[in-house]
Structure 1
């Protein structure tokens, strides 16, 4: 019997036990990253009604304002963690970021004023933004080229577990939103696992050793080189634009699934309390399931057809599906049926960031470049989020969300100018 060729073997055939362990640890950190972001989205109405007992319009405005603060905090943390991870190693920075978002999430339990919420959401986001960039770089560096897209896609797809955990926590605590933030302390136990199990990637260690002995060493984690040297600067800014499209549409479009369902139920004479609970389930469980399938699908599709075609098709389909979801359903079950498709295409592209961004940059700039793309995109997404909040308060929510979905077309244009990385070794 002939031995199967290397190309005919499944992608996971040569993946080692340690590589699986790295994927599990990175994914666990990312699950709680997402939990920290989603738990606010799910509990914000109860939280803000307690802290700002005024008109609903004010609650909506403050909700988008605090989401903008979260995006800004993620940018600060991500950019800082990225350059530090390239300079000092992936493991210590991963530990620091997990500790940050765990502690400040737990402290949200005690928030009673608007400024408490603002400060704590910023500090939680610093840890969240930093952890993703380090973990994405770590997974890309540890896995072989044949398995990289699938492994990175799985890593990002585990975010759906964070969304489900947040949804279940939100449903469990009801109006007692404070207790949902105590769950955010749990990832602190990951620190022990990271410290005892994760080793620095050989690629990074070789660069670190070379920097010590070379007469003209490459500067690890240099923003100057990233932003001024070709081709890295072009890739960094275009990648930032691509991430801004995904992050802006996530907070302006994807998370609107909950509000679309709640408003439909209110139009159908469901009580506000009942509408809120059913909308949490529809968004946090049903739509999230579709989003999770989209995230898991992106890696295999990108490995088969290429990164660029997969990004482009997902974004074009998102533009098409959003107005259908907004205007076609007239009943709870009709919208519930469509929400998984809504999640599949609007959320699925996010797995592509974990796959694609680390492939654009050399080892000594990988975490810095990956972080700049993803977290720099948060900065650009902030005005999108603020504009989305204003637009939603001025016109019908369904029309506002449909208009905001046109931003996906910007992502299509950006992908036309970026390189294809399918089947290539990571840049050195």
Structure 2
């Protein structure tokens, strides 16, 4: 890359034919953020902002869908419930397709233009939902929003991994993914403010488009990507053929996808069930349904979410200290242990409020590991492609878990508590998968 095009704040990386200069390891002395430049902090802030609004665009539908669908379907509650489930499937499919498509394009064309394209896509189509009056139009718009959301995560995760030095990579990537909690809270706050006027919540979704100006002015292509793009390896950038048919990478890709499927499947079937567990407990104690509903939303959306956010933030420092594999395995084991505790131990609402943050910490915290670990498994020319395949492929693989979870929880001969406990056995699969994957602590990013 020409000297005048190189950002002075961007970290220097290896170039083909030049001596290898490794940056400080994760266990080197000093604080992890010592030496992190203004440009690197800027990249982290931009990546977090994009991910926060990613999550906002996804969660705002969960919060407003009842008002939206009842209005568009003229008050037909049965149709609203059916379409709500259909839109969840549409959103998962769109996120998977968008992640795979834009992850590949980011390896071919660069991180900056694809980040701009994905932010523009989910912002514009979210804003257009304000004008939608037809159920099929809403379905198409949700699919297009999901395309952008799925793609942005892979680009941002790869960008953070490539820009930050090895000493700070795990912590920075953990902070990036943990910022998702802010998106959840932002969506919840917006839903409260707009009340039944759901259209305004989607109009607010246009605001992330302002990020594009910031991205265009501030983000430079990582030197790692520039070096690969100008080499012979660059001809295979974003190649699914190289990812899925090359035995050096395909095993990592499929096992990474299975690891993500465990986390995403248990999120929808176990972690989210925290709200239902609280409501069931309150109803068993004689609380009226309206009060039980309000208290369970607070317990899940505020108390449990706070614990989940702490777990996401803690994952980075823990895996920097102990390694990726031990931290992933520990989280899975402890999640397996906390689920029966939250299902069967609390006898009062107050007791539940004390346990839920721990439940959120252990069942949600491992998700930060995907942003840290997946980009470290693959070389620069397929890094975004591989990370996206793992995360978004796992999203699609989790769909059967959702169907099974719905069937199991709907059975009259099985209590909700036992259903959630049995579903938590999926964490065992995550432990087994992680045992077969490599440790990437103290390893520089793969180049070929």
Instruction: Give TM-score, length-normalised by structure 2.
Output: 0.88
- The answer to whether residue 144 in structure 2 is matched with residue 127 in structure 1 is no
Query: Which residue, out of 143, 149, 168, partners 1:147?
Result: 168
Q: Distance in 2 between matches of 1:405 and 1:90?
A: 36
- SS state of the match for residue 425, structure 2? helix
- The answer to whether residue 440 in structure 2 is matched with residue 421 in structure 1 is yes
Q: Distance in 2 between matches of 1:324 and 1:73?
A: 36
How far does the alpha carbon of each residue in 1:314-367 deviate from its partner, in whole angstroms, 9 at most, with x for none?
011111112221233233322222211111011100000000000000000101
- SS state of the match for residue 299, structure 1? helix
Q: Distance in 1 between matches of 2:312 and 2:276?
A: 22
Aligned to 1:244: 261
* Cα gap change, 1:12 to 1:74, in 2 (>3 Å): same
Bigger drift between 174-183 and 31-40 goes to 174-183
Q: Distance in 1 between matches of 2:222 and 2:177?
A: 19
In the TM superposition, 1:180-199 aligns within 5 A as 180-199=201-220
- SS state of the match for residue 424, structure 2? helix
- The answer to whether residue 394 in structure 2 is matched with residue 377 in structure 1 is yes
Aligned to 2:18: none
Gapped runs of 5+ residues in structure 2? 1-23
Report deviation, 1:187. 0.9
Query: Which residue, out of 399, 404, 408, partners 2:418?
Result: 399
The answer as to whether partners of 1:42 and 1:280 remain within 8 angstroms in 2 is no
How far does the alpha carbon of each residue in 1:286-337 deviate from its partner, in whole angstroms, 9 at most, with x for none?
1111000000000000001110011111011111112221233233322222
Aligned to 1:356: 373
Report deviation, 1:280. 2.6
The answer as to whether partners of 2:259 and 2:434 remain within 8 angstroms in 1 is yes
* Cα gap change, 1:267 to 1:408, in 2 (>3 Å): same
Report deviation, 1:285. 1.5
Query: Which residue, out of 4, 10, 29, partners 1:8?
Result: 29
Q: Distance in 1 between matches of 2:177 and 2:404?
A: 27
Query: Which residue, out of 150, 161, 171, partners 2:192?
Result: 171
Query: Which residue, out of 112, 133, 137, partners 2:158?
Result: 137
Q: Distance in 2 between matches of 1:46 and 1:40?
A: 10
Instruction: Give TM-score, length-normalised by structure 1.
Output: 0.92
The answer as to whether partners of 2:95 and 2:151 remain within 8 angstroms in 1 is yes
How far does the alpha carbon of each residue in 1:224-245 deviate from its partner, in whole angstroms, 9 at most, with x for none?
0000112211100000111111
The answer as to whether partners of 2:376 and 2:446 remain within 8 angstroms in 1 is yes
How far does the alpha carbon of each residue in 1:160-203 deviate from its partner, in whole angstroms, 9 at most, with x for none?
11111122222333343333222222111111100100000000
- SS state of the match for residue 282, structure 1? helix
Bigger drift between 68-77 and 289-298 goes to 68-77
* Number of residue pairs aligned between Structure 1 and Structure 2: 420
- SS state of the match for residue 64, structure 2? helix
Q: Distance in 2 between matches of 1:62 and 1:330?
A: 36
- The answer to whether residue 407 in structure 2 is matched with residue 390 in structure 1 is yes
- SS state of the match for residue 347, structure 2? coil
Query: Which residue, out of 55, 67, 71, partners 1:34?
Result: 55
Report deviation, 1:80. 0.4
Report deviation, 1:265. 3.5
Report deviation, 1:273. 4.0
Q: Which has the larger helix fraction?
A: 1
Bigger drift between 23-32 and 183-192 goes to 183-192
Q: Distance in 2 between matches of 1:248 and 1:231?
A: 27
Aligned to 2:303: 286
Bigger drift between 260-269 and 14-23 goes to 260-269
Report deviation, 1:268. 4.1
Bigger drift between 155-164 and 97-106 goes to 97-106
Q: CA RMSD in A?
A: 2.2
- SS state of the match for residue 7, structure 1? coil
Query: Which residue, out of 230, 236, 241, partners 1:219?
Result: 236
* Cα gap change, 1:33 to 1:313, in 2 (>3 Å): same
Q: Distance in 2 between matches of 1:169 and 1:263?
A: 27
Report deviation, 1:118. 2.6
Q: Distance in 2 between matches of 1:339 and 1:89?
A: 41
Aligned to 2:383: 366
Q: Distance in 2 between matches of 1:264 and 1:113?
A: 38
Aligned to 2:19: none
Report deviation, 1:390. 2.5
Aligned to 1:73: 94
- SS state of the match for residue 427, structure 1? coil
* Cα gap change, 1:400 to 1:51, in 2 (>3 Å): farther
* Cα gap change, 1:272 to 1:333, in 2 (>3 Å): same
